[in-house]
Structure 1
Amino acid sequence: MSMLAVIGSGLAVGGGLALANRWQWWRVPKPADWPRLLMYHSIAPEAPTGMNTPPDVFAAQLAWLQAQGYRFHTVSELLHNPGPKAVALTFDDGFANNYEHAFPILREHGAKATVYLAPEIPEIDRLTPAQIAEMQASGLIEFGAHSVHHVNLSKLDSDAARAEIAGSKAAVEALTGLPCTAFAYPFGRFSEETAALVREAGFSSAVTTKKSIIPQPSAQPYTIPRISTHGEMDMAQFRVAFSRGRYRF
């Protein structure tokens, strides 16, 4: 075999491996009756990124889920009695555009979701108390907590981490007038100690950024994985991620 042929063969193999890694098609699809949790952040008509999903992309994903017979739950509902083909839509941080752009789409599809609020997160346009009240009154939205200032809890000492966790619970309950039992680790960072502090604060669940699908989230309620999304995902990539638990964009 000539040197050019060897190089060409190597490039073909390398390209095939790169494509397989990008699409994750080689992973075994998880059973459809295993619950899924999808992770979003910003929903806005801006450039698609790992943090922002354009509204039309989000709407297409919900329409596909509905067409496949999936039923939308809050995270708390998903843990208790999800039934078959259950999915929980989750939104981290509490962007105001979750009200402006995601909420109308959720209402159109009758889709429930859980929004994790970091009440004093800096540098984003946050949901207002009036927006939170309207979303909650719809019966579609569960509000969880995401620390007070959106900090890496694993880098804090116990007292500071406890204050961030318990403080966010109290702040969300003051905003909603309801018990807050769902938590999301900022940046997905946690340790055994922070998970214990979340449990100690009175939360019944906590989600991570670990990319996976598991058969029974209630079996590990303080380390629940999710399927991450990306604003540039096309529907083929979304279906691969949804069936297998992850993609590599």
Structure 2
Amino acid sequence: MIMSIIAVLIAVVLLLWFLGNYNIWRPVVSSDQPRILMYHSIGDGISDLSVSTAKFDQQLKWLKAKGYRFVTVSELLELDSTVKVVALTFDDGFEDNYTNMFPVLQRYAAKATVYLAPDISGIDRLTVEQVKGMQASGLCEFGAHTLNHVNLSQLDDPQAQVEIIKSKQKVESMTESECRSFAYPFGRYTDRTVELVKAAGFDSAVTVKKGIEHIQDPYKIKRISVLGKTNIVQFQIAMTRGRYRV
């Protein structure tokens, strides 16, 4: 009797773990709603923000096989139809976006939007030459992510304005083209932050809020988070449901 109860409890725990990490119970989102994926580093970093090159290749191979069309965030806002459309986004501006991510983009003729924090510390950053090479390919759009990757919700208006405007200017100096898209560092923003981003001349801004939906407010765009531990089954669940775990 006791063994039977233990077996049932183990089965329940395993079921809850499975359903918590593989959210197949979430409703499938219609394919006419765009998928915006959020990445950071591509490579073998120790942080879970690093997705291995092999996994990234596997994910793009799956997207290509399923007939998804790759667009930049700015292109996404201009489309008449968003059926089976996916926008790959990369925050911060890691150098491995050039050494590891970019060759995979080229292999699948996929497009991406990279949000640069030009003066961010603690990472190996993309160089101006690398940025120019990626942009020249026609596969990469570069957006801004503040100068120093700061939490804008903790700054007063003048400080936040400097971080937002100066990052736009610096990205434009690096790319020699207009910087139209913005990403809130840490996903932190207030209504006032949104107004400052609009006033700086950006057309859109992405958040870290998870989900798939038609874009109602271009300054509060939700994304699908992809992490280093995300396996291909979880990736497919996220692509159809907006997230793969609780």
Q: TM-score, normalised by structure 2?
A: 0.95
Establish whether residue 243 from structure 1 lines up as the match of residue 240 from structure 2: yes
Aligned counterparts of 1:116 and 1:124: Cα–Cα separation in 2: 14
Offset of residue 195 of structure 1? 1.1
Partner of 1:77: 75
Contact 2:33 2:82 in 1 (8 A): no
Are residue 226 (structure 1) and residue 223 (structure 2) matched? yes
Verify the 8 A CA contact 2:164 2:200 in the aligned structure 1. Answer: yes
- Number of equivalences: 245
Whole-angstrom distance in 1 between the partners of 2:82 and 2:241: 19
1:50, 1:229 within 8 Å by CA — same for their partners in 2? no
The offset of 1:239, in angstroms, is 0.4
Give the residue type in structure 2 aligned to 1:51.
L
Shift of 1:89: 0.3
Please state whether the residue corresponding to 1:174 is helix, strand or coil.
helix
Match of 1:166 in 2: 165
Q: Which runs of 4+ in 1 moved over 2 A?
A: 2-15
Unaligned runs of 5+ in 2: none
Counterpart CA distance in 2 for 1:83 and 1:161 is 33
1:55-84 per-residue CA deviation (whole Å, 9 max, x = no partner) reads: 111011001100000000000111110532
What SS does the aligned partner of 2:67 have?
coil
CA distance in 1, matches of 2:219, 2:25: 29
- Which residue is equivalent to 2:180? 181
SS in structure 2 at match of 1:80: coil
Secondary structure class of the residue paired with 2:77: helix
The one-letter code matched in structure 1 to 2:54 is D
Unpaired runs of at least 5, structure 1? none
Distance 1:206 1:44 in 2: 26
Matched with 1:50 is 48
Task: Find the aligned partners of 1:186 and 1:99 in 2 and give their Cα distance.
Answer: 21
Which TM-score applies when normalising by structure 1?
A: 0.94
Cα root mean square deviation, aligned:
1.4
Aligned-residue sequence identity (percent) comes to: 51
Letter in 2 for 1:239: Q
Preserved CA contact (<8 Å) 1:152 1:189: yes
The more displaced of 88-97 and 3-12 is 3-12
